[in-house]
Structure 1
C-alpha cells in the first residue's frame, strides 16, 4: 500500500550538500566515519508522521505515494529544505566582541551565545553570518522507508523517541486513551516541556486517540538517563518552539545562531 499523509513510518536517511559532504544521517557507522557522530543522538532510523512537519518539506512531500521498502534520492532546493539565508542575520561587528582575535574567513565564532561563521575581516571589523549552516543550501537526501508502524504502542513510542530522544518509555492504551509514564527527570527537561502538548495533539490527530495522559512515575529502581538538552533542533522541535514563543525581531547591528547541521 502506498504511503500517505498521516502514516507513521520508520525512515532511514542520509543528507548531503551539493559537494557530497554528509551533514546528517541515521546510520551510526557512517556518522562516525564522517566525523558527525552525536553521542546523544538516536541512530537506526527515525519514526516520523508523513505530512506532520517532522522532516523538511521537500523530503516530506517525496515520501507520499512510495511503498514500504522504497529506496531513492531526492534533491531539495533551499525553500523546501532549511530555508533561504536571512540577510538580517549577517552582521558586521567589532573584533573586540570575539574571544579569539586571530580571526579569518571560515572561522566558527560565538557572540553573546549565538554561533556564526566569519565571512569577512576588514581591519578591526568582522562580518559574521549567524544563519544556520544549512540555510540557503540545496541538499540531497538518500532515504529508505523501512516500515509503516501499525500498532498504537509502536506509534506512541516512536513519536516519544522523536521528541525526547528516549526509546521504549512505558505506555499503555485502552478504550481510546493513551497513558504515557514519564520518568521524574524528564518533567524538568526543557525539550520535553516544549514538546509534550505537540505529542498529545499529534497522537489525537493522527493515531485516533481521544485522550492522552502523562503520568509521572517514581520507582525505587534507577531511572533511565534523560538526554541532555540538544545542541540543535529538529524541524519538529523548531516548530514546537516557534509555537511556544512569540516572534521577536533580531537586535540591530550585532549578535544571533543545525541535528548537528541537520535534521531531517
Structure 2
C-alpha cells in the first residue's frame, strides 16, 4: 500500500457518521448505529463507501478534510452550512392557505406535501400556514466522525467501489485488460431509470480518475433470471452532459 498523503483523485474506502450539533445522528455507514438511532434503511449499503476524493462524492467540507490524511486516519470535522448542505433559503419558506392542504388539522413540525413538494409546517395562524420547503439539513452545522479505511490501488476494486456507490450493488463482475473494462450489469439494473442516468457519469469518472480508455457495459437477459432489487445508491445520478465521454455497450 502506498504510504503517503491522500490527494484529489484518490479512491478511498470511507466510514463515517454525521451528527447534528445536538449529537443526533442523521447519516452513518455503521449498520448497528443506524438501527440504534432509528435511521436504518433496509435497502441501504453499510460497512463503508468507496469515494473519489475531490469528485464531489461527499459534502464539500468533508471532502476537503480528507486531503492530506493517510489511510488508517480517524478524525472529526465540524462543517458549517456553507460547506455542508447549504444555508436556509428564505424563498423556500412560504405561507399558504390551509385549504391547499389535504389535512387541515396541521401543527408546527408536521411534514406536509403540496404539488409534489415536501416541507415542514413551521407556523399556523388562523387559516394561514407557513411551510418550510428547505431540506431538513439546510442551515445546520454538522459534525462528521470518519475513518479512512483503505486507499484503493487495484483497478477492479476502484471500478467495483464506484459502481456500488452509484447502484447500491457490491462486487459487480468486472474485467480489466489494457486500460479497457468490461462490466457485467446485473439483470435488475438493465431497465432501472436511475442506472440509465448514472452509467455515463460512472464512465466519465472512471475515464478521468482511473485512467481507463474504454468501458463496455454488458447487459444480458435470460427468461429464467430473477430481477434483484438494488440497494439505494449513495450518490444521486445526474444526467450526463454532451461533453462527457460515451461508453461502448454490447
State TM-score, norm by structure 2.
0.90
RMSD: 1.7
Shift in alpha-carbon separation, 1:217–1:37, aligned structure 2, 3 A: same
Instruction: Give 1:184 deviation, angstroms.
Output: 3.0
CA distance in 1, matches of 2:227, 2:157: 19
> Which piece of structure 1 moves more, 111-120 or 34-43?
111-120
CA distance in 1, matches of 2:173, 2:221: 12
Matched, 1:177 2:183: no
- Checking the alignment, whether the CA contact within 8 Å between 1:121 and 1:127 is kept in structure 2 is yes
Query: 3-state SS of the aligned residue for 1:38?
Result: coil
Matched, 1:132 2:131: no
Q: 1:218 aligns with which of 221, 234, 239?
A: 221
Instruction: Give 1:224 deviation, angstroms.
Output: 5.8
CA distance in 2, matches of 1:154, 1:144: 18
Query: 3-state SS of the aligned residue for 2:153?
Result: coil
> Which piece of structure 1 moves more, 36-45 or 212-221?
212-221
| Partner residue in 2 for 1:237 | 236
Deviations 1:45-85 (A, max 9, x none): 00000000000000000000101111000000001001111
Q: 1:114 aligns with which of 94, 117, 123?
A: 117
CA distance in 2, matches of 1:170, 1:226: 17
| Partner residue in 2 for 1:249 | none
Instruction: Give 1:185 deviation, angstroms.
Output: 2.7
Matched, 1:15 2:15: no
Deviations 1:91-114 (A, max 9, x none): 111212222221111111111222
CA distance in 2, matches of 1:184, 1:192: 12
Deviations 1:111-167 (A, max 9, x none): 122211100111111111111101111000000000011111110110000000011
TM superposition outliers: structure 1 runs of 4+ over 3 Å: 219-224
Structure 2, unaligned stretches of length 5 or more? 242-250
The answer to which structure, 1 or 2, has the higher relative contact order (CA under 8 A, 6+ apart) is: 1
Structure 1, unaligned stretches of length 5 or more? 245-264
| Partner residue in 2 for 1:260 | none
> Number of aligned pairs?
238
| Partner residue in 1 for 2:195 | 192
CA distance in 2, matches of 1:149, 1:44: 16
CA distance in 2, matches of 1:31, 1:8: 25
State TM-score, norm by structure 1.
0.86
Q: 2:81 aligns with which of 73, 78, 85?
A: 78
Query: 3-state SS of the aligned residue for 1:110?
Result: strand
Query: 3-state SS of the aligned residue for 1:199?
Result: helix
Query: 3-state SS of the aligned residue for 2:236?
Result: helix
Query: 3-state SS of the aligned residue for 2:105?
Result: coil
